Structure 1
């Protein structure tokens, strides 16, 4: 693609292991993806029989690109949302989105999608100061609770999940024995954090955004935002573990 076309707002770039394609925006334009290479624009999961021959579409309608699932298995978004067959399509925002097509035996097949935003009139200079991510302000106790909640992520476990309310309460009771930590107290604090960040514009933190059953989705989204923004870091585990060790001594 030439530079002029690439600079057009809402240009779509889609890529999988088999190859890539880029197209400009046009009402009704549709790209197919799936495992049947001759009949799709982007081949995904070619060697996986659980991926449908035409598993989904990327379609430009009403000024936006939309993802629709036409396959047998769900398509996973980075925020853990699942898009199923026959559900309404989901919009793609400007920037990079990594989609995962669910395959057999736990396999997932990546489909990288990028939608160009408006062309910047003022280019960024190579020597321009790096902008730090927005770190969410919070007091020391709230920070400790959220680090405990995200422990498995911060320890880089292969398939992490947020710790339960009781597990977090047990950790907090060790480091703050006089505070009377219970699973309810932890739950209320984390819910207040999610509400505050949601009001500040973070998505995926409120039940009404997901519907039932919500499972761990709210806390998964919270942990991802806290790590993305560097509000919590792997080194923060020392705040819990060092206090735990000192109490034992």
Structure 2
């Protein structure tokens, strides 16, 4: 049986603590804050330091889903090594990350970026338990108001006319504002493109190759979730789903682009 955890290295966050979406008070660079409904824990960086979270309060630093037996006693852990905090799932059920990505126990640990990351632990009867995580940046992350600052514009990615057309065809469901959109299959999108450009030689294989090139280009620019190593197996639609969501979010694709499909 796992030993009880000690909290002496860090400090407890009380229940009712402000959401970490607002940032954190000035802290040691590289610190991690983890917060659930009943409270949380914050600790500074040190190689090998681990923060446990799960259902069994004596065995974890942050108790989450205390009354829900679908949450494991120790469902996951945050470990500091090589200058970063790494998230690992040690529970029976997956953890949902931003961009609808799932982390399973067999996936191993993944690094967390600086700033805010919400984690959702699925529970019983469609419940989900939120664990907020905040990794402090090098400046200590003391946030200040920017009431009068210019609004940062979205960063639309440069797409050639052919790339835009094929991505609109592949992602038409996203531009139609469907509640849970999915990419078209390679075959479906290629048939659509072949009708629009009968002399362009569109095939499912050609479309897959061209879309893969766009994913590689954006991945090199730092867009996450566009490679098999990041997503893990089975890949399914995840790579194209992440690509299309990023293009819509950045306004590289907008609903009026549907006019390209006639």
> Corresponding residue for 1:184?
205
Deviations 1:181-213 (A, max 9, x none): 332232222122122223333343233545543
Decide which of 68, 73, 79 is 1:53's aligned counterpart: 73
| Partner SS, residue 134 of structure 1 | coil
Decide which of 57, 72, 78 is 2:92's aligned counterpart: 72
Moved more, 136-145 or 191-200: 191-200
> Corresponding residue for 2:50?
30
Displacement of 1:143 after TM fit?
0.9
Q: How many residues align?
A: 240
Is 1:112 aligned to residue 143 of structure 2?
Answer: no
Q: 1:134 to 1:37 in 2, by over 3 A?
A: same
> Corresponding residue for 2:164?
143
Is 1:85 aligned to residue 105 of structure 2?
Answer: yes
8 Å CA contact 2:107–2:232 kept in 1: the answer is no
CA–CA separation in structure 2 for the residues paired with 1:144 and 1:62: 43
CA–CA separation in structure 2 for the residues paired with 1:239 and 1:105: 43
Deviations 1:38-82 (A, max 9, x none): 543333233432211221112223322121222111223224543
Q: 1:152 to 1:13 in 2, by over 3 A?
A: farther
Q: 1:238 to 1:47 in 2, by over 3 A?
A: farther
8 Å CA contact 2:170–2:183 kept in 1: the answer is yes
Displacement of 1:137 after TM fit?
0.6
Decide which of 228, 250, 256 is 1:229's aligned counterpart: 250
Equivalences for residues 148-167 of structure 1 within 5 A = 148-167=169-188
> Corresponding residue for 1:246?
none
Displacement of 1:94 after TM fit?
0.6
CA–CA separation in structure 2 for the residues paired with 1:219 and 1:186: 12
CA–CA separation in structure 1 for the residues paired with 2:255 and 2:78: 37
Is 1:96 aligned to residue 116 of structure 2?
Answer: yes
Query: Which structure 1 residue ranges, 5 or more long, are not aligned?
Result: 244-249
Equivalences for residues 186-205 of structure 1 within 5 A = 186-205=207-226
| Partner SS, residue 14 of structure 1 | strand
| Partner SS, residue 184 of structure 1 | helix
